[in-house]
């Protein structure tokens, strides 16, 4: 048995649980660091006298850094290893989130947020790629989806901490909290393994044996370390994503991610302000952020289990439609409990949907191109996150009725749904691994 097959067929052990825990914690603090900006916008505008357009531009500049980080750290992960990139990007976004809290003016604040954005962009695809290599195939989609719930837990924490601290202590302390992951770096260095693909390519069989023995003692002696992955790609991983069998699907994944990031970052940045405009007070508006994240967590956990039974497309396509409908209705709601319910569903259909889409991409592509697929999809999606904050800021300057602002955001969900309709399941890796080996090898030659 080769090492890749060993990890795909393994059972859940303490090694997996601890790895999931640490990756969950990293994404939890990333979620906090990203979403806390939206909660502090009213205070930043008051403190520095900036306009809504400038506040939106700061959000867009941050996501430009995020997009650059996704591309940059995606390219270098194969050279330096995904573990090192995960640690480096965690240090970046933690350190510069903290420094944002010391910024004397909007310019320095923006620079700190952009550098933190490099970390935001680099950590997500590398975490998804790393865990997809070690997670048992049977539970891979559920595990990836669960880890990305960490982002939502952190975002929800941003809402509660914002309610607890902002009114009394101002905006600076909530950014200082972002430094907490720096305390965990020594533990992460010890507990997070290096990427399996990186270890195989660099013939570090001793390190693979250490990880294997954590799952099944002495099993490393039975592994075939001379195993070579079938048909090494002569093209770059990005080029492999646009071969005949992947080209349309790759393009549709990119477009769907672009649409989902427009939804996510429109709400992450502006939801408190939009709800204030609708007539709710600051405390209620921040609570909507928490409910949004609760919806994403519950939706991810519940729907990822359904995905295991019926497949990704049968869940994600209707979910986009649910998001569009709820966004169209939320602006008309005058009942706070109905509004909470709609925001809960929107959380499932935005952040929750992206959590499951990350698992979809990881499950779809073979291991050789999976990091490139995840990195490039998120990088393209980040263009949506760049556009979204300024897009909503422009809507706010037009003084439209609140419901029209939400409808304008919800249009992105319709286009995301259409994109997923064109994804071809026939070439998905999760289908091929269940086919007989002779068919699998034949297809490799034909490819």
Give the residue from 204, 208, 254, 200 showing the smallest Cα distance to 232. Answer: 200
Per-residue confidence (pLDDT) for residue 285, from 0 to 100: 66
CB 253 within 8 A of CB 378: no
Return the C-alpha torsion angle 315, 316, 321, 326, nearest 10: 90
CA–CA dist 362, 75 (Å, integer): 17
Kindly report, residue by residue over 216-267, the tens digit of the pLDDT.
887 767 777 765 554 444 456 677 788 888 899 999 999 999 999 999 988 8
CB 194 within 8 A of CB 201: no
Per-residue confidence (pLDDT) for residue 230, from 0 to 100: 46
CA–CA dist 442, 447 (Å, integer): 9
pLDDT lower than 70: segments of the chain: 220, 226-237, 282-285, 430-447
* Sequential DSSP letters for 28-65: HHHHHHHHHHHHHHHHHHHHH---HHHHHHHHHHHHHH
CB 344 within 8 A of CB 271: no
Residue 324, phi then psi, degrees to nearest 5: -60, -45
Place of tokens 């390219």: 75
| CA 244 and chain centroid, separation | 27
Per-residue confidence (pLDDT) for residue 445, from 0 to 100: 33
Length of the chain: 447
Kindly report, residue by residue over 202-224, the tens digit of the pLDDT.
888 888 888 888 888 877 677 77
Place of tokens 């034909």: 446
Q: What is the three-class DSSP state of 102?
A: coil
């Amino acid at each position: 048995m080769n090492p890749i097959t060993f990890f795909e067929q393994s059972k859940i052990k303490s090694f997996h649980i601890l790895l999931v825990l640490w990756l969950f914690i990293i994404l939890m603090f990333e979620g906090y660091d990203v979403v806390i900006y939206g909660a502090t916008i009213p205070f930043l505008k008051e403190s520095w006298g900036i306009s809504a357009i400038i506040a939106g531009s700061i959000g867009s500049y941050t996501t430009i850094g995020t997009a650059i980080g996704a591309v940059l750290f995606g390219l270098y992960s194969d050279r330096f290893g995904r573990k090192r990139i995960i640690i480096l990007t965690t240090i970046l976004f933690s350190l510069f989130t903290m420094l944002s809290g010391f910024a004397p003016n909007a310019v320095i604040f923006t620079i700190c947020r952009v550098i933190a954005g490099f970390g935001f962009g680099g950590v997500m695809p590398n975490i998804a790629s790393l865990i997809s290599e070690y997670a048992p195939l049977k539970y891979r989609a559920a595990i990836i989806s669960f880890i990305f719930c960490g982002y939502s837990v952190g975002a929800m924490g941003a809402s509660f901490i914002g309610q607890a601290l902002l009114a009394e202590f101002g905006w600076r302390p909530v950014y200082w909290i972002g430094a907490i992951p720096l305390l965990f770096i020594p533990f992460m260095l010890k507990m997070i393994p290096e990427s399996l693909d990186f270890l195989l390519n660099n013939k570090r069989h001793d390190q693979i044996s250490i990880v294997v023995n954590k799952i099944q003692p002495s099993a490393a002696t039975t592994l075939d370390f001379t195993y070579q992955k079938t048909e090494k790609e002569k093209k770059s991983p990005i080029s492999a994503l646009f071969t005949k069998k992947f080209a349309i699907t790759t393009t549709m994944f990119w477009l769907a991610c672009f649409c989902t990031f427009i939804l996510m970052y429109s709400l992450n940045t502006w939801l408190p302000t939009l709800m204030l405009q609708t007539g709710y007070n600051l405390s209620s508006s921040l609570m909507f952020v928490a409910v949004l994240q609760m919806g994403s967590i519950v939706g991810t956990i519940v729907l990822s289990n359904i995905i295991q039974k019926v497949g990704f497309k049968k869940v994600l396509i209707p979910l986009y439609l649910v998001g569009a409908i709820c966004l169209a209705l939320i602006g008309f709601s005058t009942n706070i409990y109905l509004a909470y319910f709609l925001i809960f569903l929107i959380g499932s259909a935005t952040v929750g949907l992206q959590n499951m889409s990350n698992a979809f991409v990881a499950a779809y592509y073979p291991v050789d191109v999976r990091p490139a697929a995840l990195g490039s999809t998120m990088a393209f999606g980040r263009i949506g996150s760049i556009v979204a904050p300024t897009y909503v800021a422009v809507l706010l300057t037009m003084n439209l009725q609140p419901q029209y602002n939400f409808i304008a955001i919800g249009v992105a969900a319709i286009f995301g749904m259409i994109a997923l309709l064109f994804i071809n399941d026939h070439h998905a890796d999760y289908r091929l691994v269940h086919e007989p080996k002779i068919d699998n090898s034949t297809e490799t030659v034909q490819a």
